[in-house]
Structure 1
Amino acid sequence: MPEIDALLGLSFCLYFFDDQQHKLPHLHVKYGGYELIIAIETSECLEGYLPNKQRKRAEAHISMYREQLMQMWGKAVKGENPGKLEGVC
């Protein structure tokens, strides 16, 4: 599972071939011992938990880069390396 981005302790990851369980395009966001799976298109929390502050930060980050994340998702579900999120300061 490649890490595609990191932000203030949050780690954003995409699994290869990960379209079976949740069906929706999604990211795995990790923070310490927590992990939350968030839908890319809607920022809906699909499974897991992050503390409120980190969850809001993750949702905002996903919203800001939604189009690029959808392109990366398309690569990851085909087994291709999605690369890193570009344009992140």
Structure 2
Amino acid sequence: MPEIDALLGLSFCMYFFDNKQHKLPHLHVKYGGYELIIAIESGECLEGYLPNKHRKRAENHIAEHREQLMHMWQKAVNGENPGKLGDIC
């Protein structure tokens, strides 16, 4: 699973072909031993847990970069490397 971004200890990851279980465009956000899956479009927490402070930071980061993350999601579900957040798409 490629890490597409990191922010203050948070690791944002996107699996290739990962649209079967959740069906929604989403990211896996890891912090220490915690992992939370967050929907890109709605910001909804789909599965897992992050401590509140880190969850809010992750949700805000995703909201700020929603358009680019959606473009990256399309690449990932087609089996392409989505690249890193901040790369020119």
The reply to whether TM is greater than 0.5 is yes
Match status 1:22 vs 2:27 = no
Report the Cα offset of residue 10 of structure 1: 0.1
CA-atom RMSD in angstroms: 0.8
Match status 1:51 vs 2:51 = yes
SS in 2 for 1:73: helix
Q: Aligned equivalents of 1:14 and 1:73: distance in 2? A: 8
Kindly provide the CA deviation profile for residues 2-58 of structure 1, in whole angstroms up to 9, marking residues without a partner as x. Answer: 000000000000000000000000000000000000000010000000000000000
Of all paired residues, the percent bearing the same amino acid is: 83
SS in 2 for 1:17: coil
Kindly provide the CA deviation profile for residues 48-85 of structure 1, in whole angstroms up to 9, marking residues without a partner as x. Answer: 00000000000000000000000000000111000000
Q: Aligned equivalents of 2:39 and 2:48: distance in 1? A: 12
Number of equivalences:
87
Aligned to 2:78: 78
Which 4+ runs in 1 deviate beyond 4 A?
none
Q: Aligned equivalents of 2:52 and 2:82: distance in 1? A: 28
SS in 2 for 1:60: helix
TM-score normalised over the length of structure 2: 0.96
Q: Aligned equivalents of 2:50 and 2:30: distance in 1? A: 8
Task: In structure 1, list runs of 5 or more residues that go unmatched.
Answer: none
Task: In structure 2, list runs of 5 or more residues that go unmatched.
Answer: none
Q: Aligned equivalents of 1:2 and 1:78: distance in 2? A: 14
Aligned to 2:31: 31
